[in-house]
């Protein structure tokens, strides 16, 4: 039979401890993904790192995908921080340029996190039992709001904010992910070491092109 503890302080502490444990697990996973790469992140390795048995992790996450969803959430938090720091112009178009630079820089500084956020399938499997992608939504909404403002002030050529948002995001993501997954490498006429600069230039040119 279910027996609730009388003392409410204890049940609160239990919840706090549960949250702390989840945090320990996610922190360990983030650290591993950043320092050793996504492929090294296994349930057993995480368990070793936090000094628990692998089975224990399944008391806090129903599967690895759900754990990775929380890691992704953490990654989006650091991206949001970057955005807050680096997007501060008055002019909406200038803010769009700042956003593009910050996004590109983030992908360079945290390629493995970028992968988890925008490429790897696993964390999105948990979305089937959610109605929204809470992790990505704030960033998407930020860009959407910015594009809407750009459209209203007629500083871009777009008419529809959704198409504008997906276009800008897609353009940057396309180049970044092709590079990240090695598709720009060893292709004719693109010297390996030039790729990053070409990507930056392409994004610059694109932003010039959509300018009204």
Partner DNA sequence: CAAATATACTGAACAGTGTTTATTTTCCAA
Partner DNA sequence: TTGGAAAATAAACACTGTTCAGTATATTTG
Continuous H helices in 3-109? 8-36, 43-50, 54-57, 64-86, 92-109
Does 53 interact with DNA (rule: CB under 7 A)? yes
State the distance between the two ends of the chain, measured CA to CA, in whole angstroms.
68
5: partner contacted, choices DNA, a second copy, none (Cβ within 5-8 A by kind) = DNA
Single out the residue of 2, 121, 132, 186 in contact with DNA (rule: CB under 7 A): 2
38 vs 158, beta carbon nearer DNA: 38
CA distance 52 to 21: 10
56 vs 177, beta carbon nearer a second copy: 177
Is the Cβ–Cβ distance between 144 and 162 less than 8 Å? yes
Contacts of 61 (CB under 8 A, 6+ apart): 22, 25, 67, 70
SS3 category, 67: helix
Single out the residue of 140, 149, 155, 196 in contact with a second copy (rule: CB under 8 A): 140
45: partner contacted, choices a second copy, DNA, none (Cβ within 5-8 A by kind) = DNA
CA distance 21 to 57: 9
Of the candidate spans 14-22, 101-109, 144-152, 158-166, the one that interacts with DNA by CB under 7 A turns out to be: 14-22
Of the candidate spans 20-28, 48-56, 87-95, 116-124, the one that interacts with a second copy by CB under 8 A turns out to be: 116-124
The interaxial angle of helices 64-86 and 137-152, nearest 10 deg, is 40
Residues that bind DNA in the complex, under the rule CB under 7 A: 1-7, 10, 13-14, 17-18, 21, 41-45, 51-56, 58-59, 62-65
Residues that bind a second copy in the complex, under the rule CB under 8 A: 118-121, 124, 127, 130-133, 136-137, 140-141, 144, 157-158, 161-163, 166-167, 169-175, 177-178, 181-190, 198-199, 201-202, 205-206, 209-210
């Amino acid at each position: 039979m279910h027996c609730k503890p009388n003392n409410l302080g204890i049940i609160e502490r239990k919840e706090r401890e549960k949250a702390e444990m989840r945090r320990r697990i996610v922190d360990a996973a983030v650290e591993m993904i950043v320092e050793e790469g996504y492929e090294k992140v296994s349930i057993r390795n995480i368990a070793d790192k936090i000094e628990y048995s692998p089975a224990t992790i399944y008391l806090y996450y129903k599967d690895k995908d759900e754990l990775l969803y929380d890691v992704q959430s953490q990654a989006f938090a650091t991206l949001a921080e970057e955005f807050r720091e680096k997007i501060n112009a008055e002019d909406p178009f200038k803010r769009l340029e700042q956003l593009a630079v910050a996004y590109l820089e983030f992908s360079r500084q945290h390629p493995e996190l970028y992968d988890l956020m925008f490429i790897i399938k696993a964390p999105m499997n948990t979305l089937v039992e959610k109605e929204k992608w809470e992790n990505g939504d704030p960033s998407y909404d930020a860009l959407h709001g910015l594009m809407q403002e750009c459209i209203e002030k007629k500083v871009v050529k777009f008419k529809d904010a959704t198409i504008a948002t997906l276009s800008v995001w897609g353009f940057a993501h396309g180049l970044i992910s092709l590079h990240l997954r090695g598709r720009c490498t060893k292709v004719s006429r693109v010297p390996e070491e030039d790729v990053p600069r070409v990507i930056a230039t392409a994004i610059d040119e694109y932003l010039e092109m959509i300018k009204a």
